[in-house]
A = this chain, B = another copy of it.
Amino acid sequence: MHISTKCSIAIHCLIFINEYGNNKRVTSELLALSTGCNPVTIRNIISALKKEGILSVKFGTGGATLNCALEDITLYRIYMAVEPDALKKFIGVHAMPSPLCPVGKNIHAVLEMPYNKVRDSLKTSLQSVTMKEIINEYHNALAK
Interface residues of A (CB under 8 A from B): 1, 3-5, 7-9, 11-12, 15-16, 19, 33-37, 75, 79, 86, 88-98, 101-104, 106-107, 109-111, 113-114, 117-118, 121-122, 124-126, 128-129, 133-134, 137-138, 141-142
Contacts and interface: CB of A to CB of B under 8 A. Distances in A.
Given A8-B91, A97-B34, A109-B141, A19 B114 contact: no
State the oligomeric state as a number of copies.
Answer: 2
Contacts of A109: 137, 141
Given A3-B89, A12-B97, A94-B37, A133 B106 contact: no
A111 to B, nearest CB: 6
Main secondary structure of the interface of A (DSSP, over half): helix
Contact of A5 (B86, B95, B125, B142): B95
